[in-house]
Amino acid sequence: MPLAQLRSFDDLLVCPRCKEPLDRSARGNLRCTSQTCSIGNAEFPGVEGCDLLVDFQRSVVDREALLESSGESVIERRPWKELLQRVVDGGNRFAPHFAEDIVARLEQCETHTPTLLVIGGGQIGSGSQALYSSQKVRIIALDVYLSPHVNIIGDAHHLPLRDESIDAVWIQSVLEHVTKPEAVVAELHRVLRSDGLVFADTSFLWPVCEEAFDFQRFSASAHRWLFRNFELIAAGSSSGPGTVAAVALRYLLQSLLRSTRLGQIAAFPFSALRLLDRFCDNRRAIDGAGGTFLYARKTGQSFTESHLVDYYAEQPRFQAKSRPLRR
């Protein structure tokens, strides 16, 4: 797995507030080198050797809780729960194709070590396993908690990475959990090189997940608008109305039975409804999607309000492009 070794990408790191370079103190902690930065020259702490490059004054991440728990997530995460959820709700059936496409494109890079940034990499995203398959592609995986899949703790609103230092960004099931999605997308645009790629997969008609840390939903058009400074390659629904119906029934039963576990058991037979997604009409499936994805490139092109209305009719055409892309 090509997760970059801790400290091997120090040259890419900057202060999350002023974006000036960092250096390491005698204790090995990073600190901002700017004399004028309002964050001062206080050291950024670390846990288990992983740097916590969070601007805590401007983040929902709690510094003391993170340090006291040695970087543990405030949301309970169990591998078996994650597996069960994928079996019941299904995975993103388009993501594997885009993960393979990103890796294949980055492997062609001959001028530098291609670097992929996974935002929200604490859990390996559904269908994203191929990202971790190449020995040529370096991965920087960021999340707000420590996990074996993370090599930097940071907040996506204030990425601690140099301008134009990243070749591709993978951001899956993240934008619904941030307070300022426009700021997050501006940050990933900043760190991407020209022609850099982004794959985003974001919730639409999905119930609240991650408890108190769930803040947004996006229709396919709203998702496209969020990425208006990117040239679109492909887009579509990552889970369709069949999955939405199964999930809605589960939440209905959980509410009626006043028990999450009993509701999950009672709803299990309905999970087969998600198989109907494969037979749905594209246009209607996008309108009733549980989540939508887009795959895009930073080219300097931007998208205006006048095109946004037209985009609604264009979307099914983009989804057709989600079959293997020409390289």
- Window 202-241: contact mask with Zn ion (x via CB under 5 A): ----------------------------------------
Shortest gap between Cβ of 101 and Zn ion (angstroms)?
36
Q: What is the rounded CA–CA span in Å between residue 121 and residue 139?
A: 10
Shortest gap between Cβ of 41 and Zn ion (angstroms)?
9
Question: Within positions 17 to 46, which residues make up the interface with Zn ion, using CB under 5 A?
Answer: 17-18, 32, 34, 37, 39
Q: CA of 144: how far to CAs of 56, 104, 159, 206, 308, in Å?
A: 11, 28, 11, 22, 33
Residue whose CB is less far from Zn ion, 159 or 226: 159
Q: Which stretch binds Zn ion (CB under 5 A): 13-21, 41-49, 66-74, 220-228?
A: 13-21
Torsion region of 106: left, alpha or beta (phi above 0 gives left; psi -120 to 50 gives alpha) = alpha
166-176: burial string, b at 16+ Cβ within 10 Å, e else: bbbbbbbbbbb
Contacts 24+ apart (CB under 8 A), 150-153: 150/50, 150/121, 150/122, 151/3, 151/4, 151/5, 151/6, 151/9, 151/50, 152/13, 152/50, 152/51, 152/53, 153/47, 153/50, 153/51, 153/52, 153/53, 153/54, 153/66, 153/71
Q: Which stretch binds Zn ion (CB under 5 A): 16-24, 44-52, 108-116, 144-152?
A: 16-24
Residue whose CB is less far from Zn ion, 18 or 75: 18
Shortest gap between Cβ of 36 and Zn ion (angstroms)?
8
Shortest gap between Cβ of 37 and Zn ion (angstroms)?
3
Shortest gap between Cβ of 39 and Zn ion (angstroms)?
5
**275 three-state secondary structure:** helix
Residue whose CB is less far from Zn ion, 52 or 205: 52
Residue whose CB is less far from Zn ion, 37 or 60: 37
Residue whose CB is less far from Zn ion, 37 or 257: 37
Count Cβ atoms below 10 Å from residue 110 Cβ, excluding itself: 6
What's the DSSP call for residue 21? B
Residue whose CB is less far from Zn ion, 41 or 302: 41
- Among candidates 207, 214, 242, 225, which has minimal Cα distance to 294? 225
Interface residue with Zn ion, options 12, 13, 15, 253 (CB under 5 A): 15
What's the DSSP call for residue 3? B
Shortest gap between Cβ of 143 and Zn ion (angstroms)?
22
Shortest gap between Cβ of 120 and Zn ion (angstroms)?
24
Residue whose CB is less far from Zn ion, 42 or 65: 42
Residues in the site for Zn ion, rule: CB under 5 A?
A: 15, 17-18, 32, 34, 37, 39
